[in-house]
Amino acid sequence: MDSAIDLVQLRQGLIFYLIFVVSICIHEWAHAFMADKLGDHTPSAQGRVTLNPLAHMDMFGTVIFPLVCIFAFPGGILFGWGKPVMINISNFQHRKRDELLTTIAGPFSNLALALLAAIAGGLLAGSASRTIELFGMMITLNVVLAVFNLLPLPPLDGGTVMKHAVGMSDETYFRIAQWSWLVLLVAINLPPVQYGLRFIMGLVSLPFVMIFQMLAR
């Protein structure tokens, strides 16, 4: 009985990890693709304008930390990241606008994946018993990635949006970025922050869940 449970957990963990890797890599690809289209070919020169996951995976952020979170702390907080896409804003014709478009391309790619998962899952809901579980996982994970990356804290995507929204200097941005991961690690373990994030993620998930349910009827 215990081995059967372990096998089920192993299967679910591996599926969740594969969805995570695909979602993270498409997120980073979207940054690179948008920058390239807007005139900055730095990501292209570094081999980042590709859907090959190896180009976007970070050993610690995409392999070690996520696997530890999934299998050592099942049901807990998933912590991970992809290899950052390097850009040179001096190559953009409209620096502020193009940096913002490149920045939000990542989170919006995750929302697009959540939408595709909702549509595909809803249409295929009656064909396999595990469809709801699989596509539900895809919706949830991509919403989490989108919301998390849009938090207004450097060097997250939301931090770049905030920098332009409040006119923050690059010096201040990088000074905050030095401590932001420590702030994040502390904050996400505080119950009020966890409640707030769950509420926002539930709110963002709602339209995707509704599309899924409408198509699954």
The encoded tokens of residue 196 equal 């707030």
The encoded tokens of residue 11 equal 């299967």
How far lies 159's CA from each of 52, 87, 148, 163, 180, in Å? Answer: 27, 16, 11, 6, 10
d(C-alpha 86, C-alpha 22), whole Å: 20
Q: Which of 28, 99, 133, 171 is catalytic?
A: 28
Q: Is residue 28 flagged as an active site residue? A: yes
Q: Residue 110's closest CA among 25, 183, 187?
A: 25
Active site residues: 28
